[in-house]
Amino acid sequence: MQAAQTIRWGWKAAALLLISSVLSGCGINKIPTLDEQVKAAWAQVQNQYQRRADLIPNLVEVVKGYAAHEQDTLTAVIEARAKATSIQVDASTLDNPEKLKQFQQAQEGLSGALSRLMVVSERYPDLKANQNFLALQSQLEGTENRISVARRDFIAAVQAFNTEIRTFPGRLWHSVMYSDLPMRANFEATSADADKAPQVKF
C-alpha cells in the first residue's frame, strides 16, 4: 500500500513538473516580463527629463547674468519647466494615452522654450565664452541625447508588449490571465518638425 502511494505521489510530482515546464516554456510569463520592461523604460525616460529639468535653473541664472533684459525668454523657460515638471506620468498611469500626450506636449513646450533661449544666447559673445555656460551646454546636449535614447528604448518596449498581447500565444494568455493589462500608449509626433532634434548649440 505504501509503495502504491509513493508511486502515485511520484506520478503527481512528475505531472506537476511537466505542467510547470510547459507553462513556463509557452510564454505564460512573457506578458508580465514585457510589462515590467515597459515600466523600467518609462522610468528611464522620466529620469532623463528630470535631469534636464534640474539643469535649467542653473542655465537660466547664467544667462540672466549676461542677458538680464531678455526677461520674456527667461520667463518662458521657467514657466515651461514648471509646467513640464507638474505633469507626472508614472507606471500606474502609463496606460492613459491622454495623460501621456499631456506629458509629451509639456516636454516639447520646454524643448521649444530652451531652443528660443539658445537663439537669444547667440547675441552675447561673453555669455557664449563663459565656462559655466559651456559646461551647461555640454550637459544639456548630453541630456538631450539621453532623452532620445530613453524614448527609443521605451518605444521598443511598448511595441514588444503590445505585439505580444495581440499575437498568439500571448493573446491567449492575455485574455485568460492578464486581461487587466491594457495595450500601452506610445510617444507620437505632435509637432510638424518632430523629426528634428532640438537645437541646443550655444
CATH architecture of 30-177: Up-down Bundle (1.20)
Residue 113 to residue 201: CA distance in whole angstroms: 14
In the chain, domain spans: 30-177
The 10s digit of each residue's pLDDT in 96-131 is: 888 889 999 999 999 999 999 988 888 899 988 899
Residues of the chain with pLDDT under 70: 1-4, 10, 12-26, 189-202
> What is the Cα gyration radius of the chain?
25
Residue 146, helix vs strand vs coil: helix
